[in-house]
Chains A and B, each alone.
Chain A
Protein backbone atom coordinates (compact mmCIF):
# COMPACT_ATOMS: atom_id res chain seq x y z
CA UNK A 1 0.00 0.00 0.00
CA UNK A 2 1.56 3.33 -0.98
CA UNK A 3 2.42 5.55 1.95
CA UNK A 4 0.86 8.95 2.14
CA UNK A 5 3.05 11.98 1.65
CA UNK A 6 4.46 13.45 4.95
CA UNK A 7 3.60 10.27 6.79
CA UNK A 8 6.90 10.43 8.74
CA UNK A 9 10.18 11.89 7.48
CA UNK A 10 11.89 10.59 4.38
CA UNK A 11 15.66 10.33 4.22
CA UNK A 12 16.01 13.65 2.43
CA UNK A 13 13.67 15.38 4.86
CA UNK A 14 15.64 14.00 7.78
CA UNK A 15 18.93 15.31 6.40
CA UNK A 16 17.42 18.74 5.64
CA UNK A 17 16.39 19.07 9.28
CA UNK A 18 19.80 17.78 10.29
CA UNK A 19 21.45 20.53 8.27
CA UNK A 20 19.78 23.16 10.47
CA UNK A 21 21.82 21.87 13.40
CA UNK A 22 24.49 24.27 12.10
CA UNK A 23 22.13 27.21 12.44
CA UNK A 24 20.01 29.19 9.96
CA UNK A 25 20.64 28.28 6.34
CA UNK A 26 19.53 29.03 2.83
CA UNK A 27 18.78 26.40 0.22
CA UNK A 28 22.13 26.22 -1.48
CA UNK A 29 23.92 25.91 1.87
CA UNK A 30 21.64 23.03 2.88
CA UNK A 31 22.41 21.10 -0.31
CA UNK A 32 26.15 21.54 0.23
CA UNK A 33 25.91 20.60 3.93
CA UNK A 34 24.05 17.39 3.16
CA UNK A 35 26.53 16.33 0.49
CA UNK A 36 29.41 17.09 2.84
CA UNK A 37 27.84 15.28 5.79
CA UNK A 38 27.07 12.15 3.78
CA UNK A 39 30.42 12.28 1.98
CA UNK A 40 28.65 12.50 -1.34
CA UNK A 41 26.32 9.55 -0.72
CA UNK A 42 23.22 11.70 -0.71
CA UNK A 43 23.07 14.40 -3.35
CA UNK A 44 19.68 16.01 -2.98
CA UNK A 45 18.10 17.26 -6.17
CA UNK A 46 17.18 20.96 -6.31
CA UNK A 47 13.50 20.28 -6.93
CA UNK A 48 13.40 17.84 -4.02
CA UNK A 49 15.16 20.33 -1.76
CA UNK A 50 12.81 23.21 -2.49
CA UNK A 51 9.77 20.98 -2.24
CA UNK A 52 10.90 19.92 1.23
CA UNK A 53 11.60 23.51 2.27
CA UNK A 54 8.17 24.57 1.07
CA UNK A 55 6.49 21.70 2.87
CA UNK A 56 8.44 22.30 6.09
CA UNK A 57 7.57 25.99 6.03
CA UNK A 58 3.89 25.11 5.61
CA UNK A 59 4.09 22.53 8.43
CA UNK A 60 5.99 25.10 10.56
CA UNK A 61 9.03 22.88 10.95
CA UNK A 62 11.12 25.80 9.71
CA UNK A 63 10.55 29.53 9.45
CA UNK A 64 11.94 32.20 7.23
CA UNK A 65 14.04 34.71 9.08
CA UNK A 66 15.69 36.80 6.40
CA UNK A 67 15.27 37.73 2.77
CA UNK A 68 18.33 39.28 1.14
CA UNK A 69 17.32 40.32 -2.33
CA UNK A 70 15.75 37.08 -3.57
CA UNK A 71 17.68 34.76 -1.26
CA UNK A 72 15.70 33.29 1.63
CA UNK A 73 17.20 32.09 4.89
CA UNK A 74 15.41 29.67 7.20
CA UNK A 75 15.84 28.35 10.73
CA UNK A 76 14.37 25.30 12.39
CA UNK A 77 11.48 25.75 14.83
CA UNK A 78 10.80 23.86 18.04
CA UNK A 79 8.22 21.78 16.16
CA UNK A 80 10.81 20.93 13.54
CA UNK A 81 13.37 20.07 16.20
CA UNK A 82 10.86 17.78 17.90
CA UNK A 83 10.11 16.01 14.62
CA UNK A 84 13.84 15.58 13.99
CA UNK A 85 14.47 14.22 17.50
CA UNK A 86 11.57 11.79 17.17
CA UNK A 87 12.90 10.46 13.88
CA UNK A 88 16.42 10.25 15.30
CA UNK A 89 15.15 8.21 18.26
CA UNK A 90 13.24 5.92 15.93
CA UNK A 91 16.32 5.33 13.80
CA UNK A 92 18.47 4.64 16.86
CA UNK A 93 15.96 2.07 18.05
CA UNK A 94 16.01 0.46 14.61
CA UNK A 95 19.79 0.18 14.77
CA UNK A 96 19.70 -1.25 18.30
CA UNK A 97 17.13 -3.81 17.20
CA UNK A 98 19.30 -4.69 14.23
CA UNK A 99 22.33 -5.23 16.51
CA UNK A 100 20.29 -7.44 18.84
CA UNK A 101 19.00 -9.40 15.88
CA UNK A 102 22.56 -9.96 14.80
CA UNK A 103 23.23 -11.28 18.28
CA UNK A 104 20.44 -13.82 17.84
CA UNK A 105 17.56 -12.27 19.82
CA UNK A 106 14.97 -12.96 17.08
Chain B
Protein backbone atom coordinates (compact mmCIF):
# COMPACT_ATOMS: atom_id res chain seq x y z
CA UNK B 1 0.00 0.00 0.00
CA UNK B 2 1.51 3.38 -0.95
CA UNK B 3 1.81 6.18 1.55
CA UNK B 4 -0.67 8.90 0.81
CA UNK B 5 -1.11 12.30 2.34
CA UNK B 6 -4.53 12.44 4.01
CA UNK B 7 -4.57 15.53 6.22
CA UNK B 8 -2.45 17.72 8.50
CA UNK B 9 -2.53 17.25 12.27
CA UNK B 10 -1.14 19.80 14.69
CA UNK B 11 0.34 19.09 18.10
CA UNK B 12 1.94 21.29 20.74
CA UNK B 13 5.45 20.06 21.48
CA UNK B 14 5.46 18.43 24.96
CA UNK B 15 9.12 19.23 25.58
CA UNK B 16 11.17 22.32 26.23
CA UNK B 17 12.57 23.69 22.93
CA UNK B 18 16.10 22.86 24.09
CA UNK B 19 15.32 19.28 25.12
CA UNK B 20 16.98 17.64 22.12
CA UNK B 21 16.61 14.09 23.38
CA UNK B 22 12.95 14.53 24.33
CA UNK B 23 11.90 16.16 21.08
CA UNK B 24 13.67 13.50 18.99
CA UNK B 25 11.98 10.73 20.95
CA UNK B 26 8.57 12.41 20.70
CA UNK B 27 8.84 12.85 16.92
CA UNK B 28 9.87 9.21 16.48
CA UNK B 29 6.95 8.07 18.62
CA UNK B 30 4.63 10.21 16.49
CA UNK B 31 5.99 8.55 13.33
CA UNK B 32 5.31 5.16 14.87
CA UNK B 33 1.67 6.28 15.11
CA UNK B 34 1.61 7.44 11.49
CA UNK B 35 2.21 11.17 12.04
CA UNK B 36 5.20 12.55 10.15
CA UNK B 37 6.54 16.05 10.68
CA UNK B 38 5.78 18.24 7.66
CA UNK B 39 8.46 20.30 5.96
CA UNK B 40 8.50 23.78 7.55
CA UNK B 41 5.78 22.43 9.79
CA UNK B 42 6.25 24.44 12.96
CA UNK B 43 4.72 27.67 14.20
CA UNK B 44 5.01 29.07 17.74
CA UNK B 45 5.83 25.69 19.22
CA UNK B 46 2.99 23.91 17.39
CA UNK B 47 4.16 21.15 15.08
CA UNK B 48 2.27 20.12 11.94
CA UNK B 49 2.18 16.48 10.88
CA UNK B 50 1.16 14.59 7.80
CA UNK B 51 -0.67 11.31 8.11
CA UNK B 52 1.11 8.39 6.55
CA UNK B 53 1.53 4.71 7.20
CA UNK B 54 3.29 4.22 10.53
CA UNK B 55 6.95 3.28 10.27
CA UNK B 56 10.18 3.53 12.17
CA UNK B 57 12.18 6.62 11.29
CA UNK B 58 14.98 8.63 12.87
CA UNK B 59 14.70 12.27 13.80
CA UNK B 60 17.68 14.34 14.83
CA UNK B 61 18.02 17.91 16.05
CA UNK B 62 21.32 19.57 15.28
CA UNK B 63 22.52 22.99 16.37
CA UNK B 64 21.98 25.57 13.63
CA UNK B 65 25.36 27.15 13.21
CA UNK B 66 25.67 30.51 11.56
CA UNK B 67 28.41 31.05 9.02
CA UNK B 68 29.89 34.27 7.74
CA UNK B 69 27.30 35.84 5.47
CA UNK B 70 28.13 36.28 1.82
CA UNK B 71 26.31 37.89 -1.07
CA UNK B 72 23.16 35.81 -1.70
CA UNK B 73 23.96 33.73 1.36
CA UNK B 74 22.89 35.02 4.77
CA UNK B 75 24.90 32.32 6.49
CA UNK B 76 21.75 31.24 8.26
CA UNK B 77 20.41 28.70 5.78
CA UNK B 78 21.83 25.43 4.62
CA UNK B 79 23.68 25.67 1.32
CA UNK B 80 22.73 23.53 -1.65
CA UNK B 81 25.93 21.59 -1.11
CA UNK B 82 25.03 20.86 2.51
CA UNK B 83 21.53 19.77 1.54
CA UNK B 84 23.05 17.50 -1.11
CA UNK B 85 25.44 15.91 1.39
CA UNK B 86 22.68 15.35 3.92
CA UNK B 87 20.52 13.76 1.24
CA UNK B 88 23.41 11.59 0.05
CA UNK B 89 23.73 10.27 3.60
CA UNK B 90 20.03 9.57 3.84
CA UNK B 91 18.89 12.63 5.77
CA UNK B 92 16.12 15.02 4.85
CA UNK B 93 16.16 18.58 6.21
CA UNK B 94 12.70 19.56 7.48
CA UNK B 95 12.69 22.82 9.37
CA UNK B 96 14.38 25.26 11.70
CA UNK B 97 13.18 25.15 15.33
CA UNK B 98 14.73 27.76 17.59
CA UNK B 99 18.45 27.07 17.83
CA UNK B 100 18.14 23.76 15.99
CA UNK B 101 17.55 22.26 12.58
CA UNK B 102 15.38 19.16 12.40
CA UNK B 103 16.30 16.25 10.11
CA UNK B 104 14.65 12.96 9.36
CA UNK B 105 15.94 9.71 7.90
CA UNK B 106 13.81 6.89 6.61
CA UNK B 107 16.87 4.63 6.26
CA UNK B 108 17.65 2.31 9.12
CA UNK B 109 21.40 2.31 8.44
CA UNK B 110 21.87 6.00 7.77
CA UNK B 111 24.97 7.32 9.55
CA UNK B 112 24.40 9.65 12.47
CA UNK B 113 24.57 13.36 11.79
CA UNK B 114 27.15 13.69 14.52
CA UNK B 115 29.65 10.85 14.35
CA UNK B 116 32.12 12.31 16.82
CA UNK B 117 31.04 13.31 20.32
CA UNK B 118 33.91 15.69 20.96
CA UNK B 119 33.08 17.67 17.85
CA UNK B 120 29.39 17.63 18.77
CA UNK B 121 30.39 19.14 22.12
CA UNK B 122 31.68 22.21 20.26
CA UNK B 123 28.22 23.20 19.01
CA UNK B 124 26.49 22.28 22.27
CA UNK B 125 29.08 24.43 24.05
CA UNK B 126 28.01 27.41 21.95
CA UNK B 127 24.42 27.01 23.13
CA UNK B 128 25.57 26.56 26.69
CA UNK B 129 27.40 29.87 26.44
CA UNK B 130 24.36 31.55 24.91
CA UNK B 131 22.08 30.45 27.76
CA UNK B 132 24.66 31.33 30.34
CA UNK B 133 24.73 34.87 28.93
CA UNK B 134 20.92 34.95 28.93
CA UNK B 135 20.83 33.87 32.57
CA UNK B 136 23.34 36.55 33.53
CA UNK B 137 21.27 39.10 31.62
CA UNK B 138 18.11 37.98 33.47
CA UNK B 139 19.93 38.41 36.79
CA UNK B 140 21.15 41.88 35.84
CA UNK B 141 17.66 42.92 34.72
CA UNK B 142 16.29 41.73 38.05
CA UNK B 143 18.84 43.79 39.94
CA UNK B 144 17.95 46.75 37.73
CA UNK B 145 14.26 46.21 38.51
CA UNK B 146 14.91 45.90 42.25
CA UNK B 147 17.03 49.07 42.23
CA UNK B 148 14.42 51.13 40.44
CA UNK B 149 11.44 49.52 42.14
CA UNK B 150 12.72 50.05 45.67
CA UNK B 151 9.74 52.19 46.62
CA UNK B 152 7.41 49.54 45.22
CA UNK B 153 9.10 46.93 47.35
CA UNK B 154 9.08 49.24 50.36
CA UNK B 155 5.37 50.04 50.10
CA UNK B 156 4.29 46.69 48.72
CA UNK B 157 0.73 46.71 50.02
CA UNK B 158 -0.04 50.23 48.84
CA UNK B 159 1.41 49.53 45.41
CA UNK B 160 -0.56 46.28 45.17
CA UNK B 161 -3.76 48.18 45.95
CA UNK B 162 -3.15 51.01 43.50
CA UNK B 163 -1.62 49.06 40.61
CA UNK B 164 -3.28 45.73 41.25
CA UNK B 165 -2.19 42.44 42.76
CA UNK B 166 -2.55 40.58 39.46
CA UNK B 167 -0.19 42.99 37.69
CA UNK B 168 2.48 42.78 40.40
CA UNK B 169 2.28 39.00 40.72
CA UNK B 170 2.51 38.55 36.95
CA UNK B 171 5.49 40.90 36.59
CA UNK B 172 7.34 39.08 39.35
CA UNK B 173 6.24 35.77 37.90
CA UNK B 174 7.66 36.74 34.52
CA UNK B 175 10.99 37.69 36.10
CA UNK B 176 11.14 34.40 37.98
CA UNK B 177 10.17 32.48 34.84
CA UNK B 178 13.03 34.10 32.90
CA UNK B 179 15.49 33.13 35.65
CA UNK B 180 14.35 29.55 35.93
CA UNK B 181 14.01 28.95 32.18
CA UNK B 182 17.52 30.15 31.40
CA UNK B 183 19.01 28.40 34.42
CA UNK B 184 17.40 25.06 33.56
CA UNK B 185 18.50 25.33 29.94
CA UNK B 186 22.02 26.21 31.00
CA UNK B 187 22.10 23.15 33.26
CA UNK B 188 20.78 20.96 30.42
CA UNK B 189 23.45 22.08 27.97
CA UNK B 190 26.17 21.70 30.57
CA UNK B 191 25.02 18.13 31.09
CA UNK B 192 24.96 17.46 27.35
CA UNK B 193 28.42 18.96 26.89
CA UNK B 194 29.95 16.94 29.73
CA UNK B 195 28.50 13.73 28.38
CA UNK B 196 29.84 14.42 24.91
CA UNK B 197 33.31 15.37 26.13
CA UNK B 198 33.39 12.11 28.07
CA UNK B 199 32.98 10.31 24.76
CA UNK B 200 29.31 9.43 25.10
CA UNK B 201 26.61 10.51 22.67
CA UNK B 202 23.22 12.01 23.44
CA UNK B 203 20.40 9.57 24.20
CA UNK B 204 18.25 9.15 21.15
CA UNK B 205 15.44 7.45 23.09
CA UNK B 206 14.22 9.00 26.32
CA UNK B 207 10.98 8.95 28.25
CA UNK B 208 9.14 12.22 27.42
CA UNK B 209 5.55 11.41 28.40
CA UNK B 210 5.87 11.69 32.18
CA UNK B 211 6.92 15.33 32.14
CA UNK B 212 4.61 16.35 29.28
CA UNK B 213 1.82 17.89 31.46
CA UNK B 214 4.35 19.91 33.43
CA UNK B 215 6.06 21.04 30.22
CA UNK B 216 2.75 22.12 28.70
CA UNK B 217 2.11 24.27 31.77
CA UNK B 218 5.61 25.77 31.65
CA UNK B 219 5.22 26.55 27.92
CA UNK B 220 1.86 28.23 28.57
CA UNK B 221 3.16 30.19 31.57
CA UNK B 222 4.70 33.14 29.67
CA UNK B 223 1.43 33.64 27.78
CA UNK B 224 -0.59 33.49 31.00
CA UNK B 225 1.74 35.96 32.69
CA UNK B 226 1.59 38.32 29.71
CA UNK B 227 -2.19 38.12 29.75
CA UNK B 228 -2.13 38.82 33.48
CA UNK B 229 0.01 41.91 32.98
CA UNK B 230 -2.30 43.23 30.26
CA UNK B 231 -5.36 42.38 32.35
CA UNK B 232 -3.83 44.13 35.35
CA UNK B 233 -3.09 47.26 33.34
CA UNK B 234 -6.55 47.30 31.74
CA UNK B 235 -8.35 46.79 35.06
CA UNK B 236 -6.26 49.59 36.52
CA UNK B 237 -7.35 51.88 33.69
CA UNK B 238 -10.97 50.91 34.29
CA UNK B 239 -10.58 51.49 37.99
CA UNK B 240 -9.10 54.92 37.54
CA UNK B 241 -12.04 55.97 35.40
CA UNK B 242 -14.65 54.92 37.92
CA UNK B 243 -15.22 58.36 39.38
CA UNK B 244 -18.60 59.81 40.28
CA UNK B 245 -19.89 62.91 42.17
CA UNK B 246 -20.58 62.70 45.89
CA UNK B 247 -24.30 62.93 45.39
CA UNK B 248 -24.34 59.63 43.55
CA UNK B 249 -22.53 57.69 46.28
CA UNK B 250 -24.82 54.80 47.24
CA UNK B 251 -25.68 55.10 50.95
CA UNK B 252 -23.57 56.44 53.79
CA UNK B 253 -19.79 56.42 53.33
CA UNK B 254 -18.12 54.12 55.92
CA UNK B 255 -15.72 56.90 56.91
CA UNK B 256 -15.90 60.45 58.21
CA UNK B 257 -16.31 63.33 55.79
CA UNK B 258 -16.13 67.08 56.42
CA UNK B 259 -19.78 67.11 57.50
CA UNK B 260 -19.03 64.51 60.20
CA UNK B 261 -16.17 66.59 61.59
CA UNK B 262 -18.22 69.78 61.78
CA UNK B 263 -21.75 68.63 62.64
CA UNK B 264 -24.38 71.32 62.58
CA UNK B 265 -22.25 73.51 60.35
CA UNK B 266 -22.94 74.80 56.87
CA UNK B 267 -20.92 73.35 54.08
CA UNK B 268 -20.61 74.92 50.69
CA UNK B 269 -19.07 72.16 48.66
CA UNK B 270 -17.02 71.88 45.46
CA UNK B 271 -14.98 74.89 44.64
CA UNK B 272 -15.01 74.75 40.90
CA UNK B 273 -11.38 75.75 40.38
CA UNK B 274 -10.19 72.79 42.44
CA UNK B 275 -12.53 70.38 40.68
CA UNK B 276 -13.03 68.20 43.73
CA UNK B 277 -16.17 66.62 45.07
CA UNK B 278 -15.85 63.14 43.72
CA UNK B 279 -15.16 59.66 44.85
CA UNK B 280 -14.08 56.54 43.06
CA UNK B 281 -14.14 52.93 44.03
CA UNK B 282 -12.13 49.96 43.03
CA UNK B 283 -11.40 46.45 44.08
CA UNK B 284 -8.29 44.36 43.99
CA UNK B 285 -7.68 40.88 45.19
CA UNK B 286 -6.83 42.20 48.63
CA UNK B 287 -9.12 45.12 49.34
CA UNK B 288 -12.13 47.23 48.46
CA UNK B 289 -10.95 50.78 48.02
CA UNK B 290 -12.71 54.11 48.10
CA UNK B 291 -11.02 57.40 47.32
CA UNK B 292 -12.85 60.46 48.50
CA UNK B 293 -12.01 64.01 47.47
CA UNK B 294 -13.82 66.93 48.90
CA UNK B 295 -13.15 70.68 48.93
CA UNK B 296 -15.50 73.05 50.62
CA UNK B 297 -16.05 76.18 52.66
CA UNK B 298 -17.21 75.35 56.19
CA UNK B 299 -19.12 77.56 58.57
CA UNK B 300 -19.28 75.77 61.92
CA UNK B 301 -22.14 75.87 64.38
CA UNK B 302 -20.06 78.39 66.34
CA UNK B 303 -19.87 80.67 63.31
CA UNK B 304 -16.23 80.07 62.41
CA UNK B 305 -15.24 79.84 58.76
CA UNK B 306 -12.74 77.48 57.26
CA UNK B 307 -11.70 76.38 53.84
CA UNK B 308 -11.08 72.66 53.83
CA UNK B 309 -9.75 70.04 51.44
CA UNK B 310 -10.13 66.39 52.37
CA UNK B 311 -8.46 63.59 50.44
CA UNK B 312 -9.25 60.27 52.00
CA UNK B 313 -8.54 56.68 51.12
CA UNK B 314 -10.55 53.88 52.69
CA UNK B 315 -9.57 50.21 52.43
CA UNK B 316 -11.57 47.20 53.46
CA UNK B 317 -9.22 44.25 53.18
CA UNK B 318 -9.78 40.51 53.06
CA UNK B 319 -7.68 39.97 56.17
CA UNK B 320 -6.37 41.90 59.14
CA UNK B 321 -2.83 40.98 58.19
CA UNK B 322 -3.19 42.90 54.93
CA UNK B 323 -4.78 45.83 56.77
CA UNK B 324 -1.76 45.95 59.08
CA UNK B 325 0.53 45.91 56.04
CA UNK B 326 -1.34 48.82 54.45
CA UNK B 327 -1.23 50.75 57.69
CA UNK B 328 2.51 50.13 57.98
CA UNK B 329 3.09 51.35 54.42
CA UNK B 330 1.21 54.59 55.03
CA UNK B 331 3.05 55.11 58.31
CA UNK B 332 6.49 54.48 56.78
CA UNK B 333 5.69 56.77 53.89
CA UNK B 334 4.58 59.62 56.16
CA UNK B 335 7.51 59.12 58.50
CA UNK B 336 9.96 59.22 55.59
CA UNK B 337 9.02 62.82 55.04
CA UNK B 338 11.11 63.66 58.05
CA UNK B 339 9.71 67.02 59.14
CA UNK B 340 6.51 67.61 61.03
CA UNK B 341 4.93 66.70 64.30
CA UNK B 342 3.32 63.50 65.43
CA UNK B 343 0.42 63.82 67.82
CA UNK B 344 0.37 61.10 70.42
CA UNK B 345 -1.92 62.52 73.06
CA UNK B 346 -4.86 60.32 72.03
CA UNK B 347 -4.39 56.59 72.02
CA UNK B 348 -6.14 53.86 70.14
CA UNK B 349 -7.93 52.44 73.21
CA UNK B 350 -9.28 55.89 73.99
CA UNK B 351 -10.68 56.20 70.50
CA UNK B 352 -11.89 52.60 70.45
CA UNK B 353 -9.87 51.53 67.42
CA UNK B 354 -6.95 49.16 66.93
CA UNK B 355 -4.43 51.85 66.01
CA UNK B 356 -4.23 55.58 65.31
CA UNK B 357 -1.46 57.88 64.11
CA UNK B 358 -1.85 61.59 63.48
CA UNK B 359 0.82 63.64 61.82
CA UNK B 360 1.06 67.30 60.85
CA UNK B 361 3.66 68.13 58.19
CA UNK B 362 4.06 71.78 59.04
CA UNK B 363 2.84 72.96 55.65
CA UNK B 364 -0.85 72.95 56.33
CA UNK B 365 -1.60 69.26 55.85
CA UNK B 366 -2.81 67.00 58.64
CA UNK B 367 -2.61 63.22 58.15
CA UNK B 368 -4.81 60.84 60.07
CA UNK B 369 -4.08 57.13 59.79
CA UNK B 370 -6.39 54.74 61.53
CA UNK B 371 -7.13 51.01 61.55
CA UNK B 372 -9.93 48.99 63.03
CA UNK B 373 -9.84 45.27 62.27
CA UNK B 374 -9.48 44.85 58.54
CA UNK B 375 -10.38 48.45 57.68
CA UNK B 376 -7.87 51.22 57.17
CA UNK B 377 -8.47 54.93 56.69
CA UNK B 378 -5.84 57.42 55.59
CA UNK B 379 -6.96 61.03 55.42
CA UNK B 380 -5.05 64.13 54.34
CA UNK B 381 -6.73 67.31 55.52
CA UNK B 382 -5.72 70.75 54.30
CA UNK B 383 -6.90 73.78 56.23
CA UNK B 384 -5.00 76.84 57.29
CA UNK B 385 -1.88 76.00 59.31
CA UNK B 386 -3.01 76.91 62.76
CA UNK B 387 -6.40 75.31 62.42
CA UNK B 388 -4.90 71.99 61.45
CA UNK B 389 -2.59 72.00 64.42
CA UNK B 390 -5.39 72.84 66.83
CA UNK B 391 -8.20 70.68 65.53
CA UNK B 392 -6.47 67.40 64.81
CA UNK B 393 -8.41 65.70 67.60
CA UNK B 394 -11.72 66.56 65.91
CA UNK B 395 -10.66 64.66 62.85
CA UNK B 396 -9.32 61.72 64.83
CA UNK B 397 -12.51 61.39 66.88
CA UNK B 398 -14.78 61.70 63.85
CA UNK B 399 -12.79 59.07 61.92
CA UNK B 400 -12.79 56.69 64.88
CA UNK B 401 -16.52 57.02 65.43
CA UNK B 402 -17.26 56.02 61.84
CA UNK B 403 -14.87 53.08 62.00
CA UNK B 404 -16.18 51.63 65.26
Contact = CB atoms under 8 A, between A and B. Distances in A.
Interface of A: 2-6, 10-13, 26-28, 31, 43-52, 54-55, 57, 64, 67, 69-72
Given A27-B81, A70-B81, A46 B116 contact: no
B114 interface: yes
Given A3-B118, A45-B115, A67 B73 contact: yes
Contact of A46 (B70, B85, B122, B125): B85
Interface in B64-118: 65, 67-68, 70-73, 79-82, 84-86, 88-89, 91, 111-116, 118
B132 to A, nearest CB: 15
B121 A5 contact: yes
**Closest 9 A-B residue pairs measured CB to CB?**
A2-B197, A45-B115, A47-B113, A70-B79, A71-B81, A47-B62, A12-B116, A28-B85, A5-B122
A10 B80 contact: no
Nearest to A13: B119
B85 A27 contact: yes
Nearest to B199: A2
Given A13-B119, A70-B79, A46 B86 contact: yes
Given A50-B82, A57-B67, A67-B70, 9 more contacts: A2-B198, A10-B119, A45-B112, A46-B91, A49-B85, A51-B122, A67-B71, A67-B73, A69-B80
B89 A46 contact: yes
Interface in B274-316: none
B185 interface: no
A57 B81 CA distance: 17
A2 B191 CA distance: 12
Nearest to A6: B122
Given A5-B122, A45-B89, A70 B114 contact: no
Nearest to A30: B85
A31 B85 contact: yes
A45 B125 contact: no
Contacts of A3: 118, 197
Contacts of B68: 57, 64
A57 B68 CA distance: 10
Given A31-B85, A70-B72, A48 B80 contact: no
Contacts of B121: 5
B120 A71 contact: no
Contacts of B198: 2
Contacts of B151: none
Contacts of A44: 115-116
Which among A10, A46, A69, A71 has the highest number of chain B CB atoms within 10 Å?
A46
A88 B62 CA distance: 31
Given A28-B84, A51-B123, A5 B112 contact: no
Nearest to A45: B115
Contacts of A51: 65, 114, 119-120, 122-123
Contacts of A4: 197
Contacts of A55: 119, 122
Contacts of B116: 10-12, 44-45, 48
Given A2-B197, A2-B198, A46 B82 contact: yes
A12 B91 CA distance: 20
Given A46-B113, A67-B70, A10 B89 contact: no
B115 A48 contact: yes
14 contacts: A3-B197, A4-B197, A5-B118, A5-B197, A12-B119, A45-B114, A45-B116, A46-B89, A48-B116, A70-B72, A70-B73, A70-B79, A70-B81, A72-B79
